Structure 1
Amino acid sequence: MESKAAHLTLVPPPDRRQSETALAVARGTARLLRSLGFACVSELALPSGRRADLVALNERGEIWIVEIKSSVEDFRADQKWQDYRAHCDRLFFAFTQDLPCEIFPDQTGLIVADAYGAHLHCEAPEHRLPAPTRKLMTIRFGLAAAQRINRLIDPEGYGEI
């Protein structure tokens, strides 16, 4: 008799919300963030009700949010990025080398990425979070990461909290 475990996959199916370009930029950006000592969670729901493309947390408790942009049109259509600043110490845009840096706001950092890696084009200014917001974001980050691990380990027993 075959076990059910033999048929489980450890990689969840894509959620189809992002374009192939956005997925590639997110992958390369996550690799950069990990090399800088950050753990990353994608598509994290924020207390404001928005959903951040990438949220990164390091051992010092610093929280960075990275908004992925796959085209000039994608950037121009999206003005919600300003709401993310209230939930992070630094705010970045990540995009392909095909996009001009000049379209992005001065008060954000820039990351140029592809599917295999990324580089920090310019650092984001720091605006330290208040302690209660940092605690809330750290808890959300930890819960989201744990839920994703649990879903991978036991897809049939996964339930929303």
Structure 2
Amino acid sequence: MLTGLGHAALAEFTPTGGLRVDVISVSPKGEIWVVECKSCRADFVSDRKWQGYLEFCDRFFWAVDADFPEDLLPQGSGLIRADSWGAELVRMGPESRLAGARRSRLLRDIARVSTTRLMALTDPMGISGGAS
């Protein structure tokens, strides 16, 4: 879904020590979105870190399936409904613009992690110290 919106998405990204977001993406306009995927009520209730993700994005979203109890999710966040066949944006997350310095650092970190992962796929020896 994010790719269809023109985003460059990256899974399992660590914006700072102790936090790992499920998906972070950069929109064509440069907005940074965080998408937190929840599989069930217990998964949501046990997550005590999600509020820390808010300071690392312009918009925050929950991605859940059709059976997820939507009333559990905070109203001040975006909502994506997903299943094995696709996803749809149900509710746009409210905008909370990042400070310039944080945005710059995040974009740099996203680029470095993305490039490192791509190189590991295309040139595994280059990552582990072989010739590249």
Fold match by TM threshold 0.5:
yes
Larger Rg: 1
Inter-CA distance 159–88: structure 2 relative to 1 (3 Å threshold): farther
User: What are the residue-to-residue correspondences of 1:9-158 with 2, within 5 Å?
Assistant: 32-158=1-127
SS at match of 2:93: coil
Three-state SS of the structure 2 residue aligned to 1:46 is: strand
CA distance in 1, matches of 2:36, 2:9: 13
Give every structure 1 segment of 4 or more consecutive aligned residues whose post-TM-superposition deviation is greater than 6 Å.
none
Q: How many residues align?
A: 129
Whichever structure has more helix as a proportion of its residues is: 1
Q: Which structure: greater strand fraction? A: 2
After superposition, the C-alpha distances for 1:106-144 in whole angstroms (9 at most, x for unaligned) are 111010001221001111111000000100110111011
Once residues 104 and 88 of structure 2 are traced to their aligned partners in structure 1, the CA distance between those partners, rounded to angstroms, is 29
Structure 2 unpaired stretches of 5+: none
- Identical positions, percent: 38
RMSD of the alignment, in Å? Answer: 1.3
Letter matched to residue 110 of structure 1: L
Name the CA distance, whole Å, in 1 between partners of 2:18 and 2:108.
Answer: 16
Higher relative contact order (CA 8 A, sep 6+): 1
Aligned equivalents of 1:87, 1:48: Cα separation in 2: 12
Q: CA–CA distance in 2 between the matches of 1:39 and 1:53?
A: 14
